[in-house]
Structure formats: structure tokens, C-alpha cells
Structure 1
């Protein structure tokens, strides 16, 4: 079963963009593995609380990345 797990800062993607990401990822799996994998493909889009993740020993926030804070 093909599986993709995306993690984004909370509030960065709206419902339409999440849906588009799921459709495009599923299409990628189908293109690569064939139509038979469509019913078994899983795409998980998770939102991480602002400041709840880091890289290179630094906590990242939307402000540090120059992105607008969640509304």
C-alpha cells in the first residue's frame, strides 16, 4: 500500500489545498505503480502546532520562516 505522510505548520494549508495535495499524491502513486494501487493509496496530511517542530537544533515558527501567523 503506497503511503505518504505530509506535515505542515498549522494553518498553512486550507481544506482545498489539502485536497489537491491528496489528489496529486494519489495520481503520482498511480502513475508510478499503476491504477491498481488507487484504492490502497493513503495520504495523511498532518498539521503541527506552530513551534512544535525544528531543524538543526532550532525550533521553527512561522515568524522565523517569514510566514504569516495562523488566523
Structure 2
């Protein structure tokens, strides 16, 4: 079973964007592995809370301009 784990900042992607990523990632793997892989492909999108990741002693917080619009 192909398994893809994608980590993004919390709030960076809308539900529609996540659905598109799952679909496109699955299609990409099917291109490499054959159509037989489609029903067994798992794409996990994990959202990391602000302040929960960083690099070189800098903690990251996603700017409001990069947040997905709130869904109603």
C-alpha cells in the first residue's frame, strides 16, 4: 500500500485544497505503480500547530496572508 504523509502549517489549506492534494497525489502514484494501486493508496495530511515546528532555533508561525479562507 503506498502511503504519503504531508505536513503543513495548521490553517494553510482549505478542505477543497486538501481534497485536490489527495486526488493529485493518488493520480501521481497510479502513474508510477499502475491503476491497481489506487484503492490502496493512503494520503495523510497532517496539520502542525503554529509554534510546533522550526529551523535553526527559529520557531515558525504562519502569517495570516498565507492562511486558507475560513470555511463556513
Same fold (TM over 0.5): yes
Output the TM-score relative to the length of structure 2.
0.84
* 1:45 paired to 2:41: no
CA RMSD of aligned residues (A): 1.5
Matched residues, number: 67
* 1:54 paired to 2:54: yes
Structure 1 segments, 4+ long, off by >6 Å, are none
The answer for the alignment partner of 2:30 in structure 1 is 30
What 5-or-longer segments of structure 2 have no aligned partner?
Answer: none
Output the TM-score relative to the length of structure 1.
0.85
What 5-or-longer segments of structure 1 have no aligned partner?
Answer: none
Deviations 1:7-53 (A, max 9, x none): 11111101000000000000001001000001110000111101111
